[in-house]
Amino acid sequence: MAAVEKVRINREISAPELRVIGAEGENLGVITSVEALKLAVAAGLDLIEISPNAQPPVAKIMDYGKFQYEQKKRDSAARAKAKVSETKEVQIKVGTGENDMRLKARKAAEWLAEGHRVRAELFLKGRYKGMEEAFLKTRLEKFLLLIPYAYRIADPVTRAPKGFATIIERDPKAGVTAKSPTETAVPVEPETQTHEN
């Protein structure tokens, strides 16, 4: 991962001229860095270079502590957003036992709680590939009902290269936390999802 470029403040700023934004967000235009630093000192604030690659660089007069706090908030929001787009995978087989199903369902619930999407797959091999499709879909749907977290179906159960799969995601309207692992979850409005398309 590339190193984060250090933000230059006050006398660390080397550009002779800067486009300056005042403490109230007003545009002070292009002035010398010496003049901009005098304005920041007079206001009891810092001069922070916020766009070093602009021509000329852009600097803002504000409190450096406040700038760092806002930067941290923006970084956290960006990380949270990146996290949401991740799709985790959980796989079961026709012969997966009840306890294993519940363990995998709890793991799926944790991922949903963290904001991830979950791809649940029923893996088929050998003779299982020739079994009745309706039965196989029911097996995967039974697993979904074990997940102790409110979710909605993003992609209905369809045939996948290795069996059958579906994608579920946290239901934004529900806003519930994971229930006890002994409880079963009812997917949010599953009847609105059809297998036709």
pLDDT digits (tens, 9 = 90+) for 64-107: 999 999 889 988 877 766 655 688 999 999 888 999 999 999 99
As a whole number of angstroms, the distance between CA 16 and CA 57 comes to 9
pLDDT the model gives residue 82: 63
- DSSP 3-state percent helix, strand, coil across the chain (nearest 5): 35, 30, 35
Amino acid identity of residue 194, one-letter, is: T
* SS3 label, residue 136: helix
As a whole number of angstroms, the distance between CA 21 and CA 134 comes to 65
| CATH 3.10.20.80 location in the chain | 10-81
pLDDT tens digits along 102-155: 999 999 999 999 888 999 999 998 887 878 888 888 889 999 999 999 999 988
The structure tokens 């079963």 sit at: 184
Its CATH architecture, for the domain 86-192, is 2-Layer Sandwich (3.30)
Q: Distance of CA 76 to CAs 109, 115, 117, 150, 166, Å?
A: 23, 14, 20, 25, 30
Indicate if the alpha-carbon torsion angle 165, 171, 172, 177 is positive or negative: negative
pLDDT the model gives residue 145: 93
CA atoms within 13 A on the CB side of 197: 9
Residues 2-16, mean pLDDT to the nearest whole number: 81
Apex 81 CA angle, 109 and 67, nearest 5: 135
Q: Is the pTM of this model over 0.75?
A: no
CB-based burial label for 48 (10 Å; 0-12, 13-18, 19+):
buried
Helix axis angle, 133-145 to 98-113, nearest 10°: 60
pLDDT the model gives residue 108: 94
DSSP-assigned letter for residue 188: S
Apex 180 CA angle, 175 and 182, nearest 5: 130
pLDDT the model gives residue 3: 45
| CATH 3.30.110.10 location in the chain | 86-192
Residues 162-177, mean pLDDT to the nearest whole number: 79
* SS3 label, residue 99: helix
pLDDT tens digits along 44-74: 999 999 999 999 999 999 999 999 998 899 8
Q: Distance of CA 161 to CAs 3, 8, 55, 123, Å?
A: 40, 53, 53, 9
Give the model's confidence band at 183: pLDDT under 50 very low, under 70 low, under 90 confident, else very high.
very low
CATH of 10-81, one of 3.40.50.300, 3.40.47.10, 3.10.20.80, 3.40.50.720: 3.10.20.80
